Every structure is written in structure tokens, then in C-alpha cells.
Structure 1
Amino acid sequence: MRRDDFLKSLLALAAAGALPMTAQAASAVKMMIPANPGGGWDTTGRALGKALQDAGVASSVTYDNKGGAAGAIGLAQFVNGSKGDLNAMMVMGAVMLGGIITGKPPVGLDKVTPLARLTSEYNVFVLPANSPFKTMKDVVEQLKKDPGSVKWGGGSRGSTEHIAAAMIAREVGVDPSKINYVAFRGGGEATAAILGGNVTIGGSGYSEFAEYIAAGKMRAIGVTSGTRLQNVNVPTLKEQGINVEIGNWRGVYGAPGISKAQRDALIAMIEKATKSKAWAEALQKNDWTSAWLAGDAFGNFVDQEFASLRATMVKSGMV
């Protein structure tokens, strides 16, 4: 048997889960995290890496944080530096779609290989503990008086918290284009700004702020879910008369130029990782909801999300 035919056979067996554990564990995974340390993508990428090792499908995992432009900088590096690399993965999510819509980078998601959607999560809006405001109603009243005086802090332009802020403004009768939104390169920077009182209100996935809310360093005033989150005593925006609901999902892509068999082998690895004890612990610790969707179905979902998100952003005056 020729060497290339032998390799194709191995990949087909891996995709079917038929390889012995030692053969599947040969991968030294390289995880691109297109954000600075401390945020949702960073947490997701490192949790996935740990789960891949826990499941025995990766011998090692290295991480490369490359923040900026809603993930576009990391995406460009991933596209240019990992073509055909079976060991390369990149974390991404709804935030990247928003960034592509607003920033129009030269490299898009059409250049990489969709593998799987992993989780979904809703955003929470918080106030610094020493804020003169106590509720979302207080923030909205100030927003109506002087939109620019309310400084919203969160992820990159086009992130779900940015879109949610624009939607809130629109729903309460304020021109969304007048909101004062401060974008940060990573969750760590946004958290520091909120704790330091450098923004009026901050938004992110609940898991990123949970420890600070529990410690009384942040006051949670609203979540973007349709109903209250389980075990989280924070009112939804809808409960407060603001008809806004928006979720955040995260997934993983493979390198450009890999075959369908190679893609399917990677998906099999990731699926096995999501059934590991390490992944179950990550879901519980971070209040993530499992949202598994793989391969072509995931690629179609991303295309639909892109169109829907763009329509929302146009309606909110962001594009």
C-alpha cells in the first residue's frame, strides 16, 4: 500500500473512532486563541485543550493568544500559518462574525474549516460596586438624558455585548449610533476597567464575571436571555421592559486546505473530548450550555448567523 493511501486509511479509521487509543493520541494540537488571555475564547480554548488530553486524543496542546479586531488578527495568522495542518485548531464564536461585519478584514471564515459549535452562553450587564447607579432602569434614564455620558465596556466592536447595548438603546428610544461603547481586546482588560470604575456599565458572558458578582465587586443588573438563568438571580432585560434577547455561542475551526476525511477525524477527536470528565467540569464551572453541532451543519449555521447578525446590526445603526 502506498504511503498516502495508508495515511488516508488511518484518517478514515480515526473519523470512525476505530483507531486504537495510542494512534489517536499522537496529535500535538496547536490551539489558536484569537483574543488576549482572560476572556471567553481563552477559557474555551484552554478547556477544550485540557479535554482533548483528558480524552486521550491529544498528546499535548500549545496555545497561541493573538488578540485584536474581534479575532480578525488571530484569524489572519491562522489562515496564513496553518494551511493543511491537521493539528491546528482555532477557537471562535459569534463575536468574530460581528467583527467581520463591522471591520471587513481581508481574511474571512470562508478560508478556514468549520469543525464544531461547542457552547452557548448569555451575556450579563454589570455595574462597578461603587457605581451611583443601582439598576438597569437607572442606566437607561441616564442614557436618555445624555447617551454619551454612559460608557459601555465590553469586547471588540461587533461583539454580542456591543450589539446588545445598541439594541437596548434602540428599544428605549435612543439613537444606537450615539452610544459610547469602549471595546477591549480581551475579557481581562474589560474586567479591569469595570473593577476600576473606568466604564459606567460592562457586559460579557456570565462566567467571566461570576466570581466578581459573587464577591460583591460587581452588581449584575440584567441578562440577555429570554428567561432567568438557572441558579442565577439576575433579572432578564425583558423582565425590565426592554425587549432584547441575544445569545453568544463559541466553536472551533480547523486549518485551511484539509480534506473532508481529515476534517471528520478532527471532529471525532473534539466530540470525544466533549464527553470527557474535564469538559463536563468546564461546563459546570463556567455555566456554559452544551450546543454541539458539527461539520456541514455547523458551517450552515454560521452562514445563517452571519446573515441574521448583519440584519440586526444594520437595524441597530451599527453598519
Structure 2
Amino acid sequence: MRRRRFFAWGLGLAACAAGCGTERFAGSAAGLRTRFSINPQGRRWARVGQALTGAARAAGYETTGGTRIMVTGLPALAAAELNNGQTLLDTATPLSRLSGEVEVVVVPARSPFRDFEGFGAHLLARPGQTQLAGGPQGEPDHLLFGLIARGLGADTRQLDYTDYPSSQEAVTALLSGKAAAATGPLADWRASIKAGRAKALAVSSARRVPGLDVPTLLESGVRVDFADWAAAFGPEHMPDESRESAIRMCEDVTGSAGWEEACRSAGWISIPLSGADFEQWLGSEVERTRAVLRDLGLLDTTKATTCWGSCGNGH
């Protein structure tokens, strides 16, 4: 493994104090609703926070003052593990999974790997001789390569992974021949794929991306369903009444046409899951993240699954 760089995303979750909104107003047919204040946990989740706020307003909710809702996601979860911090399950109240960015495995247009099967066979046989590129170590791109290696049965600790601060630098590295394959958000690779400079081998989502003739990892024989997800959380020790009203709001909003349109416009997938189901899923996602970080040599913890959502095993 080449370079080691860890980015602490400073969770600060305990500081997300409850502003238990007691002001109510007459909304739509849903009746009286609590006021909400939606706050992204840093610039990384600003667009999702803005989209959730806009869709909530369109659905008739007040979004100034009141019960505080934080928007954060997978990179924060991984950062807490890397820095021996408490997980989102310990420091906040899980409310609802919201959206995800699909990742894509790409190779240069003239790569000898004509499909994912060829790439996977090479990675399995020579993991230390398959140059990989992506974002910072321990973040979603790196996690995905770790999950792919685990799914193939390759020696994950031998992965030859070079991390780059931005997707654009990873794109440049791949196209200049510094890497055999890369992974990253599909949105960041679309231009290179469309221009014929890069070839997409597989997408990380459970279903194919409309308009893109590229198989999923599941179709390619790797039991991995993955997205760089974002979710809504309440403050720690959130009162039951506030939690229930916040979950109802998230369900209303993520089920709305406005939210679906916001996700389409941003290039995200809508992956709503709320309440107890989301909390259970989040527990399995914590375990999966710990396991792959351990397999990558970044963390010493217990094993977990490599799949969630659509693998048919309940994760």
C-alpha cells in the first residue's frame, strides 16, 4: 500500500443539541407538524442538506428553527472508526437513509481489461501488481476496492492503492497511465467515459444505471452493493416524540416527487430507509466498514459482511 493519509471529518455529533421544536403549524393533510432545522455536517453534505430542506418545504414543512436534523454519511462513519471514535449509533439518533452516489470501476480506454471479469481475475491473481487509484485512504473509493477484493477472495492487504485528494487527480492519474484501474463517483467519471477516454467495467449499485450500458458488481459475480450514502440523524438522546415526527417528515419527503427530482438532477440514487429498519441497517454498515478497514490494514477489528440492501441476506 503506497501512501497513508487519513482525513478526520470531525464528527462533532454530540454538539448537535436538541432544539425540540414545540411550535406547530397547519400543514397539508398530514395535519399538525413539527418545525425542523436541517443542518449538513460540513460542506461534503451541503447539497444533500439543501435538497432535503427544499423538498421538505415543498411538502409543507417549516424548516426554520425547531427540531435539529443533521445530514452526514459514510465518510464520517469511516473517519470515526479510523480515529477510534464513537460511531453514529453512539453519538446521534438514526432517522433515515436518504441518498447515495453510485461508484464506478473504470480502466483506460486501451486497457487490456475488456470487462470486469478480466480485471477481477488479474486482481485475484496479482493484487500487489494491479495499480489502483481513487480518493483518500479509508474513504468510499478505497472501501469499495477493499470490498471488491474481499468479494473476489483476493488478499486485500496486498492491494496496490494510491490515494488522491480529489476525483480529478484520480482521473488524471488513470488516463496518464499511472494506474490500471480506478474507482470513484460515477458523476465524476461520466465525461471521460462519454469521450471514450475511460471504459466503465462495473457500477456499485444493486441495479444498472439507466442510460449506461454497464453491469453491476452483483451481475459480475461480486456480492457487493455499495453507495457513498448520506442520511439524516437527530441529536443524541432525542425525545421519542421528536424522533417520531422527524422520521415521519423524512418518510414524507423521501417519498415525494420533489425529492426524486432533486436526486435525479444531482445524479444521486434515492435509497430511503427509516426508523428501526435504518438503525438495523446502519449497525450492519458499521460492521462492514470496520471489517474492510481491517482487511485493508487500516484497522484491527472483527469481521463483517460485504453486502447490503439487495444481496438477499437481510443486511
For the aligned pair, the TM-score class normalised by the smaller chain equals: 0.5 to 0.7
Contact 1:164 1:246 in 2 (8 A): no
| CA-CA distance at 1:229 after TM superposition | 4.1
Counterpart-to-counterpart distance in 2, 1:157 and 1:212: 23
Q: 1:259 to 1:276 in 2, by over 3 A?
A: same
Q: Equivalent residue of 1:247, what SS? A: coil
* 1:211-226 equivalence runs, <5 A: 211-225=191-205
Match of 1:175 in 2: 155
* 1:1-319 equivalence runs, <5 A: 10=23, 17-19=30-32, 24=35, 27=36, 29-33=38-42, 35=44, 41=45, 43-58=47-62, 86-93=67-74, 95-101=75-81, 103-109=82-88, 110-120=90-100, 122-129=102-109, 134-137=114-117, 139-140=119-120, 143=123, 147-170=127-150, 174-184=154-164, 190=170, 194=174, 199-225=179-205, 228-237=208-217, 239-240=219-220, 242-248=221-227, 249-286=229-266, 288-311=268-291, 314=294, 319=299
Q: 1:87 to 1:315 in 2, by over 3 A?
A: closer
Match of 1:74 in 2: none
Q: Equivalent residue of 1:177, what SS? A: helix
Contact 2:97 2:273 in 1 (8 A): yes
Counterpart-to-counterpart distance in 2, 1:196 and 1:262: 52
Q: Equivalent residue of 1:106, what SS? A: coil
Match of 1:82 in 2: none
| CA-CA distance at 1:11 after TM superposition | 6.2
| CA-CA distance at 1:300 after TM superposition | 2.5
Contact 1:112 1:255 in 2 (8 A): yes
Counterpart-to-counterpart distance in 2, 1:57 and 1:187: 36
Counterpart-to-counterpart distance in 2, 1:50 and 1:213: 32
Contact 2:157 2:295 in 1 (8 A): no
TM-score (normalised: structure 2): 0.67
Contact 2:124 2:155 in 1 (8 A): no
Aligned length: 277
Bigger fraction of residues in helix: 1
Q: Equivalent residue of 2:32, what SS? A: coil
| CA-CA distance at 1:251 after TM superposition | 1.4
* Letter aligned with residue 54 of structure 1: A
| CA-CA distance at 1:263 after TM superposition | 2.7
Counterpart-to-counterpart distance in 1, 2:180 and 2:129: 8
TM-score (normalised: structure 1): 0.66
Q: Equivalent residue of 1:243, what SS? A: coil
Counterpart-to-counterpart distance in 1, 2:235 and 2:169: 29
Match of 1:65 in 2: none
CA shift digits 1:88-143 (9 cap, x unpaired): 412213x4444444x14334311112121123565320124565655435544654
What's the Cα RMSD here? 4.0
* Letter aligned with residue 162 of structure 2: V
Q: 1:43 to 1:131 in 2, by over 3 A?
A: farther
